[in-house]
Amino acid sequence: MISLILSICALILGYFLYGTLMAKIFRHDGRPTPAYSKQDGTDYVPMPTWKVFMIQLLNIAGTGPIFGAIMGAMFGPSSFLWIVFGCIFAGAVHDYLSGMLSVRLGGASLPEIVGEYLGRGTRNVMLVFSVIMLLLVGAVFVFSPASILGGMARFGIEKPAEGLDWAVMIWVGIIFVYYLVATCVPIDKLIGKIYPVFAVALIFMALSLLVCLFVKWPHIPEIWDMFTSDKGGFDLGGRESLNFSGKPIFPCLFITIACGAISGFHATQSPMMARCLKNEKLGKPIFYGSMITEGAIALVWAAVASWFIYDGGAETLGLATTASAPVIVNAVSKSWLGVFGGILAILGVVAAPVTSGDTALRSARLIIADAFKLDQKPVAMRFAVSIPIFVVTALLLWYEIGNPAGFNTIWNYFGWANQTLSVFTLWAITVFLAARPFADESFWKYSFILTLIPATFMTAVCSSFILTAGSTIGVGFNLPALWAPNLAIVAALFSLVVFCLWYFRRAPKAKHLKNYKK
C-alpha distances in angstroms, 32 versus 46, 251, 377, 409? 11, 42, 20, 44
Q: For residues 322 and 332, give the distance between their C-alpha atoms in angstroms, rounded to a whole number.
A: 14
Question: What contacts 427, CB < 8 A, 6 or more positions away?
Answer: 118, 455, 459, 495, 499
Cα 263 to Cα 103: distance, rounded to the nearest angstrom? 19
Q: Which of 282, 281, 298 is nearest to 62 (CA)?
A: 298
Query: Does 137 reside within a domain?
Result: yes
| pLDDT score for 448 | 92
Flag whether 462 is in a domain.
Answer: no
The secondary structure of residue 199, as a DSSP letter, is: H
Q: Output the pLDDT for position 323.
A: 79
Radius of gyration of the chain (CA): 22
Contacts of range 130-134, beta carbons closer than 8 Å, 24 or more positions apart: 130/268, 130/367, 130/421, 131/364, 131/367, 131/368, 132/417, 133/264, 133/265, 133/268, 133/414, 133/417, 133/418, 133/421, 134/268, 134/360, 134/361, 134/363, 134/364, 134/367
pLDDT of residue 434: 87
> Residues near 305 by Cβ (< 8 Å), separated by ≥ 6?
69, 70, 71, 72, 73, 74, 328
CA distance 114 to 134: 17
CA-to-CA distance for 161 and 482, rounded, in angstroms? 42
Residues 70-121 have pLDDT tens digits of 888 888 889 999 999 999 999 999 999 999 999 999 999 999 999 988 888 8
352 located within any domain: yes
Are 146 and 153 in contact by the 8 Å Cβ rule? The answer is no
User: Exposure string (b/e) for 95-127, b if CB count within 10 Å is 16 or more?
Assistant: bbbbbbbbbbbbbbbbbbbbbbbbeeebbebbb
Its pTM stands at 0.89
pLDDT of residue 6: 96
| Rounded distance between C-alpha atoms, residue 342 and residue 51, angstroms | 26
Low-confidence ranges of the chain (pLDDT < 70): 151-164, 228-246, 348, 400, 402-409, 411, 437-443, 470-476, 506-518
Please indicate, yes or no, if residue 219 is contained in any of the structural domains. yes
Does residue 450 lie within any of the structural domains?
no
* CA dihedral sign of residues 290, 291, 296, 298: positive
Separation between Cα atoms, residue 124 and residue 143, nearest integer Å = 30
Residue ranges of alpha helices (H) inside 347-448 are 352-371, 379-402, 406-435
Q: Is 391 inside any structural domain? A: yes
Per-residue CA distances from 267 to 91, 95, 140, 354 (Å):
10, 6, 19, 19
- What is the predicted pLDDT for the residue at 517? 45
Quick one: which of 354, 56, 42 has its CA closest to 187?
A: 42
Q: What is the pLDDT of residues 31-75, one digit of tens each?
A: 899 999 999 988 999 999 999 999 999 888 877 788 889 888 888
Task: Report if residue 124 sits inside a domain.
Answer: yes
Q: Give the pLDDT score at 482.
A: 85
Rounded alpha-carbon distances, angstroms, from residue 159 to 92, 140, 144, 152, 222: 43, 21, 16, 11, 43
- Specify the number of domains making up the chain: 1
CB atoms within 10 A of CB 45: 16
Domain that holds residue 14: 2-412
CATH of residue 342's domain is 1.10.4160
Residue 122 located in a structural domain: yes
